[in-house]
Structure 1
Amino acid sequence: MKNVCTDQADTWYQQAEQKAAHYFASLYMQVMEKTYVSTLTEDFELWKRNHINQRPWLSLFSRGTRKPDSQDYRRYMRWLDHTGKLDDYLDRSISYIYMRDLGKALDSPDTQTRIQRVVADIKNHLTRSAATTGGGQPEQLSLAGLYRWAQKESIESAVIWLIDKLKDVSANIPKEMNAEHAQRKLIKIIIGVIMHVVEEMDVGISSEERAQRLDEAIRLGYSYGLTYPFIDDLLDSGVLTDGEKELYSSMIRTALLTGVVPELSGWAGSNNMEIIQYVHSELRDAFEYIKEHQRLETQETFFEQSYVFFHSQDIDRVKDLSNKNYTNEELYVPIILKSSSSRLIVRSVISAPIDEGFDHRTFLYGIYNQLADDFADMFDDMNDGAVTPYTYYLKYRDLRSDLINPFELYWTVISHLIHNVYHSNAKTREVILDRAINGLKRCRARLGTEMYNEIMGIFAAGNPEFNRLVQYMVRKADDVDFFDKLLRDQMVTILKNNQKEKEDFQDTIKNVRQQINNQLQITKANGISPMKETLIDAANYSLEGDGKRIRPLLAWVMGVNEYGLQPSTMVPLLRSLEYLHTASLIFDDLPSQDNASSRRGRPTLHQMHNSATAELTGLFLIQKGIEEQTSLHSFDASTVLALMQYSAQKAEDTCMGQAMDLDSKGKALTIEQLNMICFLKTGTAFEASLVMPAILAQVKAPEIEALKKFAYHAGIAFQIKDDLLDLEGDLLLLGKPTHKDVENNSSTFVTILGQEGARKEMWEHYCLASETLDKMSCKTAFLKHLLNYMVSRDR
């Protein structure tokens, strides 16, 4: 069986290799004859009419038309719309995506109709979004924006599943790998698969069928895209040893040749066992999902293209930059195969019908993107010792006169695509040359003019006249930027910023939590009665548990970081919040209420003592909380009185919520009733943590109302997650028993809506809280990450 599989694999690769070698030979002849120079010179003469504009001198004084930095996303979109450039910007962007990702020819009337429909939809979304929101990241790159799209398409479950999967992938990317790069590529593949599926849909498709196919597209996209971080990037990185890479590659080949993922073996004692177990499990599930959704007639195509893709990558990966004897064919044939196979696979992944036009165009197009990407990454690749056409040429150009200049090959491919593949279509010429000049502009901006000119001196020295023309375009041409590049930059920035903010969030929690823990212990004065000493011991026992301290943490962040209050002045408020919260937990755990046996990883207070002691300790902590509020000496009396009045009202609300909850046992509640109970029990404490520092800082009423709205939705989202954890959670992680809601016959979001319905409701409140946060003047990153923590926590 093994020999049969090996023979089949050899046949697959040899056939693909012959096709790639034939294509390369054609390109090689064109490079040698330099046919691209005269052809592209004529093309640029036509192209520049739309891009080299003489600006009226009066425009220099018009601040309203000055082009903003594209990093300011919303302002840039408004500028494009204001100047009348948005239509062309979107048209070239979507046209390029149709060529690159969907393998379409732009001379097709049907393709043009589809492009214009997509352009109109995006423009409508962008202009509507710009009119209704302020600054910040693009809506489509936020979790709330993603979930709102899911609601529109009725695919909420698939998107919730995807969000959870992406979170797990992010958490399991080894530190030696580029996490942002890996996540971006995975997301890009998912979007690409969705685009292919949408293109395959008939215009009159029912909403139910559309939702089902989009659901499958998301899961298929993730399943295929997962190979990028956990096969391509993992094998490229230094995470695995050489022996482990060989073992891992062998497992992948076996899976592609037999259709069965082998069990893990040979990894005993590896330092990478934990990550390999996770990767093996995820990739096995992904592989099985793709197989299950294959039509019988597309399965062999899928395995063949996947094998060619992996094998060509593997051949390219093991090249050694110190080897000076690679032929041009050895350098270029594998990248022709890997760059085309990566997109050819998509149609077999979704079991799309055979499209010879797509296959032909995609096979010839792939090397164009690869050469552009390798040019952009050449310095990183050189530092990593990776062999690409550019790194190899840089190292051996003076020793090997036979080496093809990859920059010349790049322009040859462009000329070949425009005139031999797309038949000199004017729009194709426009879009491809836009992209080429845009890439060089971005390179010059990234490297700086001096380094850029030095690089051009190496790669463009053989055709000085043509290079002068190109560099003139790079300096002078306008309107060559692309929407996908903007979103790519935004995504990379967002991923990096999110990671930095998340680290800051975790550091803040760790540091402030420790400070709060150090302030919570109630001291015993000399000569106190034994009974009071018992109460203090009981109170300290409850306070010492492994609490999250979210409420005082949040109050500290809002008071100190957002409103500029001095940390020392906040201490009484922080104690008060935790004392009052701990008191509520003591009462909540009593046999007369929820009858919990453990809390914060330890036996509950009434288990350690008795119910009477627990009740009295709860009352004692409430009084201590009030006493702490009276100790806010750094603030004027009227402000402290307003805070205490507000605090008393919130305590009343919490009691009412608990009473309503106890009264509801065994009763079927409506969502409205459950929302009310949930907010009164949980949301009020979040609200107090936000509002009480605002009261001390004398924040104006509209801001306080916004804080209350955010707290309402965040609090309900938090409670729904609690309900889900009661059903799904781990006792050791939670520090309290699970399945208590069922035992107590309590109405919860899970019992009323079911697991799936509860998740959807949680994400709805997440979106409402996030959208409220976007409109608030205080947009601390801590609140954003706190909200993310609330819906993604495991305890």
Structure 2
Amino acid sequence: MNGKFTENEAFTEHADSWYRLAEQKAAQYFASLYEQVMEKTYVPTLTKDFQLWQSNHIHHKSWLSFFSRVKRKPDTQDYYRYLDWLNVTGQLDDYLDRSVSYIFMRDLGKALDSPVTQKRIRRLVTDIKNYLIQSTATKRGDQPDYLSLAGFYRWAQKEGVENAAIWLIEKLKAVSSHIPDDMNAEHAQRKLIKIIGGVILHAIEEMGDEILPVERTRRLDEAIRLGYSYGLTYPFIDDLLDSEILNDQEKEKYSRMIRTALLTGSVPELGEWNGDNRDLIHYIHSELREAFEYMKCQQRSDTQQPFFEQSYVFFHSQHLDRIKDLSNANYTNEELYLPVILKSSSARLIVRSVISAPVDEGFDHRVFYYGIYNQLADDFADIFDDMREGAVTPYTYYLKYRDQRSDLINPFELYWAVISHLIHHVYHSDPKTLEVILDRAINGLKRCKQRIGIEKYNELMEVFAPGDPEFNRLIQLMVREADNVDFFDKLLRDQMVTALKNKRKEKEYFIETVKTVREQINNQLQIAKHDGIPPMKDSLIDAANYSLEGDGKRLRPIMTWVMGVNEYGLPFPEIVPLLRSLEYMHTASLIFDDLPSQDNSSTRRGRPTLHMVHNSSTAELTGLFLFMKSVEEQSSLNGFDAKAVLAMMQYSSQKAGEMCMGQAMDLQSKGQELTLEQLKRICYYKTGIAFEASLVMPAILAQAEALEIAALKKYAYHAGIVFQIKDDLLDVEGDRLLLGKPTLQDVENNSSTFVTVLGQKDARKEMWEHYCCAMEALKEMSLKTPFLKHLLDYVVNRDR
């Protein structure tokens, strides 16, 4: 269609009708709120509410409390200490109860006065508490397990949804790599993960207690895929259109395409798209089309129409909000607030349609009125960022035009009117609801004050403070003095953002370290020629240098460098012989592997193998030569304790022999159908030992503790299997040019591999099982090097 399409008039009429009906409902709601703000009816109501509420939240501390270590509240950034403090002081139950209750109201649209809802909340609180107490007692790792890939995969195993988990991990990796630099990557990923979690939570809540395990597994698998499919719209529609990545013409073209998909139920062809964003848009178009088709196929006939209606209302309200210009001084209150009401409520209403949940009028009613509360809270928190970017929100617009436009409603006053309306008109003055909503409101202001500082916060309050001075003083008293208003989901949000930022920094450091150290190692590998050497040795050195010059990953000596220099503090110049030794030994093993009598490979590291350039005899002799050079290098480690060097050399020679045994086992197994256990044993001797040696040899030189070395060996065992399974998968799926060697070699050699034994799907499961085991082994180490974590991520994600 060449990117040009005309919207069918019938579809357009339907769309206008959908939006007009939604807008009428929003207008009625806004009119009710506007009246409450103008007449200040919310003030006496909320004043009484706060007077009741504050008795549980403002406590006058005795002078003895200043001397009690137990009662000193840690910073929430110290995740484990903070949760431990909550537990020790007896506050963990209330903390989790209000947190889970809020999620049930906000995300699941539940009413807290329902006995069934209360029962489910108590059960979930108990489950979370038991998990948190266990995790804080062990204090394993530097971030909660549920924020890690290993933690997520372990949950997936428990639920029987490993295939969906692996699919999602690969999808999230691709999304992460395609988020442009000018967008907030951590923010985009966090929102996507949050949406996925929300859809899963909805699906679990819809299942009930009597569901059969096989059906639960099926629905969770579906929820993971639906959550990703729906959540993908946030980074690649909402955030992308809010950013400056696309120019105005591209935004218009892209928006028309999305609108057409929602109106017709079919994603149009992309057509021609030129410019710097071509590759990005091609990826997004392909991924969104796949997501759209999946969501559409999962819809029941009675939920498909609401899905498209709500999606269109969501997109169109976002569009109306997005195209506002802060320089336009003529927007009415309705133009400012109606799109906010619609986009914030429809975003949550869509989730029910996404999972094909039955129509629930109570849910729709509560969610519709609840939406604007979250949006006003979020916009208040982001006011300075929005002003800097020139975005139009109720707060930025009021901040700019309040002196010129006396008709403008104060959004902060509207915020409190919404809270009063929710408590007393939507949730019928339920005490538990009152408690949770006021907790959340004060918590939001406390967090804002802490984030922007007291001075800026006071400036905001001077502008936005509610018109009633007494009510404002009461609010500020609550912000200063009230405690026990923290929320677990906010803690998770902060932890997730921190974890994503740290992961990005650590990954950048990992890549830079690999690049820098690889270059250093490459500069040290060439075997020098000395005057007077025999011609035959001269040719052996040439052959060895040819093999060493190949485009090798140098993973093993890089691992040794990181452990030796970064973790154990060994001087780089003094461990250079060890680095050379490891690469010489590894290259020798590859030369032997490639021989016609063994794997018979014609290319290695992107070049012809040594026996193809020379002959098999030369290759065999060169391999032996490199093995002996490895021993020679180890014996030249003069800067270390002699006993440690001797112990390391004994260990090295033992492992070299075991590697030979592994290759012999591999050769003998050709043409045989191996069991999984036999495969893993061969893998350890062929691959795992090399990983182990790279980690253990510097540890021996540094005279590390036995428990530390044992943990390194366990990590290496599992990491070696991960590496080998990925190799086997790449042999079937990989790109020959990227790999630098032929694909399908295992099939041609009639070799048993993890793929031939398990199949591709189960081989991936086995790879992720050992990934988790390797990550768990790291928790047993006193050293907490992030390099080894990212090494595992590199191994499972590599394409060569």
**TM-score (norm: length of structure 2):** 0.98
What is the aligned counterpart of 2:631 among 606, 626, 635? 626
Whether the 8 Å CA contact 2:648–2:701 is kept in 1: the answer is yes
Task: Report deviation, 1:735.
Answer: 0.9
Q: Which residue of 2 aligns with 1:252?
A: 258
Q: Which residue of 1 aligns with 2:3?
A: none
| Secondary structure of 1:65 counterpart | coil
Matched, 1:744 2:746: no
What is the aligned counterpart of 1:443 among 448, 453, 456? 448
What is the aligned counterpart of 1:484 among 483, 489, 503? 489
Q: Which residue of 2 aligns with 1:358?
A: 363
Once residues 537 and 277 of structure 1 are traced to their aligned partners in structure 2, the CA distance between those partners, rounded to angstroms, is 47
Q: Which shows bigger deviation, 198-207 or 215-224? A: 198-207
Post-superposition Cα deviations, 1:450-479, rounded to whole Å, max 9, x if no partner, equal 111111111106222111111111111110
What pairs up with 1:148-163 in 2 under 5 angstroms? 148-163=154-169
Whether the 8 Å CA contact 1:74–1:134 is kept in 2: the answer is no
Matched, 1:535 2:546: no
Post-superposition Cα deviations, 1:618-667, rounded to whole Å, max 9, x if no partner, equal 11111111111111111132221111111001101100111111111111
Q: Which residue of 2 aligns with 1:129?
A: 135
The one-letter amino acid paired with 1:157 is: N
Whether the 8 Å CA contact 2:70–2:89 is kept in 1: the answer is no
Matched, 1:176 2:176: no
Task: Report deviation, 1:134.
Answer: 3.2
Q: Which residue of 1 aligns with 2:393?
A: 388
The one-letter amino acid paired with 2:35 is: M
Once residues 728 and 534 of structure 2 are traced to their aligned partners in structure 1, the CA distance between those partners, rounded to angstroms, is 42
Whether the 8 Å CA contact 1:74–1:136 is kept in 2: the answer is no
What is the aligned counterpart of 2:726 among 714, 721, 725? 721
Whether the 8 Å CA contact 2:442–2:478 is kept in 1: the answer is yes
Task: Report deviation, 1:82.
Answer: 1.1
The 1:135–1:160 alpha-carbon spacing in structure 2 relative to 1, beyond 3 Å, is: closer
What is the aligned counterpart of 1:603 among 608, 612, 617? 608
What is the aligned counterpart of 1:13 among 16, 19, 30? 19
Post-superposition Cα deviations, 1:225-272, rounded to whole Å, max 9, x if no partner, equal 0000000000011110100000000000111111111111241x3210
Whether the 8 Å CA contact 2:412–2:466 is kept in 1: the answer is no
Whether the 8 Å CA contact 1:589–1:604 is kept in 2: the answer is yes
Q: Which residue of 2 aligns with 1:185?
A: 191
Matched, 1:201 2:198: no
Task: Report deviation, 1:752.
Answer: 1.1
Q: Which residue of 2 aligns with 1:755?
A: 760
Once residues 364 and 527 of structure 1 are traced to their aligned partners in structure 2, the CA distance between those partners, rounded to angstroms, is 90
What is the aligned counterpart of 1:369 among 368, 374, 379? 374
Q: Which residue of 2 aligns with 1:262?
A: 268
Once residues 134 and 290 of structure 1 are traced to their aligned partners in structure 2, the CA distance between those partners, rounded to angstroms, is 38
Q: Which residue of 2 aligns with 1:347?
A: 352
Once residues 485 and 649 of structure 1 are traced to their aligned partners in structure 2, the CA distance between those partners, rounded to angstroms, is 52
Q: Which residue of 2 aligns with 1:547?
A: 552
Q: Which residue of 2 aligns with 1:231?
A: 237
Q: Which residue of 2 aligns with 1:3?
A: 9
Once residues 735 and 587 of structure 1 are traced to their aligned partners in structure 2, the CA distance between those partners, rounded to angstroms, is 18
The 1:213–1:240 alpha-carbon spacing in structure 2 relative to 1, beyond 3 Å, is: same
Once residues 135 and 726 of structure 1 are traced to their aligned partners in structure 2, the CA distance between those partners, rounded to angstroms, is 34
Task: Report deviation, 1:379.
Answer: 0.5
| Secondary structure of 2:180 counterpart | coil
Post-superposition Cα deviations, 1:313-353, rounded to whole Å, max 9, x if no partner, equal 00100100111111100000001000001000001111110
Post-superposition Cα deviations, 1:667-697, rounded to whole Å, max 9, x if no partner, equal 1222221111101100111111101111111
What is the aligned counterpart of 1:708 among 713, 723, 736? 713
Once residues 782 and 606 of structure 1 are traced to their aligned partners in structure 2, the CA distance between those partners, rounded to angstroms, is 36
Q: Which residue of 1 aligns with 2:47?
A: 41
Once residues 127 and 753 of structure 1 are traced to their aligned partners in structure 2, the CA distance between those partners, rounded to angstroms, is 38
Whether the 8 Å CA contact 2:232–2:288 is kept in 1: the answer is yes
| Secondary structure of 2:407 counterpart | coil
Q: Which residue of 1 aligns with 2:117?
A: 111
Q: Which residue of 1 aligns with 2:29?
A: 23
Whether the 8 Å CA contact 1:190–1:218 is kept in 2: the answer is yes
**How many residues are paired up?**
794
What pairs up with 1:588-667 in 2 under 5 angstroms? 588-667=593-672
| Secondary structure of 1:70 counterpart | coil
| Secondary structure of 2:779 counterpart | helix
Q: Which residue of 1 aligns with 2:89?
A: 83
Once residues 541 and 266 of structure 1 are traced to their aligned partners in structure 2, the CA distance between those partners, rounded to angstroms, is 47
Matched, 1:513 2:496: no
What is the aligned counterpart of 2:309 among 304, 307, 314? 304
Q: Which residue of 1 aligns with 2:673?
A: 668
What pairs up with 1:392-431 in 2 under 5 angstroms? 392-431=397-436
Once residues 354 and 13 of structure 2 are traced to their aligned partners in structure 1, the CA distance between those partners, rounded to angstroms, is 24
Once residues 564 and 285 of structure 1 are traced to their aligned partners in structure 2, the CA distance between those partners, rounded to angstroms, is 50
Whether the 8 Å CA contact 2:413–2:466 is kept in 1: the answer is no
The one-letter amino acid paired with 1:124 is: N
Post-superposition Cα deviations, 1:44-74, rounded to whole Å, max 9, x if no partner, equal 0000111111233322211123211111112
What is the aligned counterpart of 2:147 among 141, 149, 170? 141
Whether the 8 Å CA contact 2:746–2:753 is kept in 1: the answer is yes
Once residues 502 and 135 of structure 2 are traced to their aligned partners in structure 1, the CA distance between those partners, rounded to angstroms, is 22
Matched, 1:495 2:500: yes
Q: Which shows bigger deviation, 63-72 or 573-582? A: 63-72
| Secondary structure of 1:221 counterpart | helix
Once residues 461 and 479 of structure 1 are traced to their aligned partners in structure 2, the CA distance between those partners, rounded to angstroms, is 24
What is the aligned counterpart of 1:771 among 765, 772, 776? 776
Whether the 8 Å CA contact 2:540–2:622 is kept in 1: the answer is yes
Once residues 353 and 21 of structure 2 are traced to their aligned partners in structure 1, the CA distance between those partners, rounded to angstroms, is 18
Q: Which residue of 2 aligns with 1:60?
A: 66
Once residues 624 and 782 of structure 1 are traced to their aligned partners in structure 2, the CA distance between those partners, rounded to angstroms, is 29
Structure 2 unaligned segments of length 5 or more: list them: 1-6
Once residues 711 and 65 of structure 1 are traced to their aligned partners in structure 2, the CA distance between those partners, rounded to angstroms, is 43
Once residues 97 and 634 of structure 1 are traced to their aligned partners in structure 2, the CA distance between those partners, rounded to angstroms, is 60
Once residues 41 and 266 of structure 1 are traced to their aligned partners in structure 2, the CA distance between those partners, rounded to angstroms, is 60
Once residues 134 and 225 of structure 1 are traced to their aligned partners in structure 2, the CA distance between those partners, rounded to angstroms, is 30
The one-letter amino acid paired with 2:621 is: L
Post-superposition Cα deviations, 1:78-110, rounded to whole Å, max 9, x if no partner, equal 111111111100000000000000001111111
Whether the 8 Å CA contact 1:194–1:217 is kept in 2: the answer is yes
| Secondary structure of 1:711 counterpart | helix
Whether the 8 Å CA contact 1:654–1:680 is kept in 2: the answer is yes
Once residues 706 and 430 of structure 2 are traced to their aligned partners in structure 1, the CA distance between those partners, rounded to angstroms, is 61
The one-letter amino acid paired with 2:754 is: F
**TM-score (norm: length of structure 1):** 0.99
Once residues 686 and 752 of structure 1 are traced to their aligned partners in structure 2, the CA distance between those partners, rounded to angstroms, is 24
Matched, 1:219 2:219: no
Task: Report deviation, 1:135.
Answer: 4.9
Structure 1 runs (4+) deviating above 4 angstroms are none
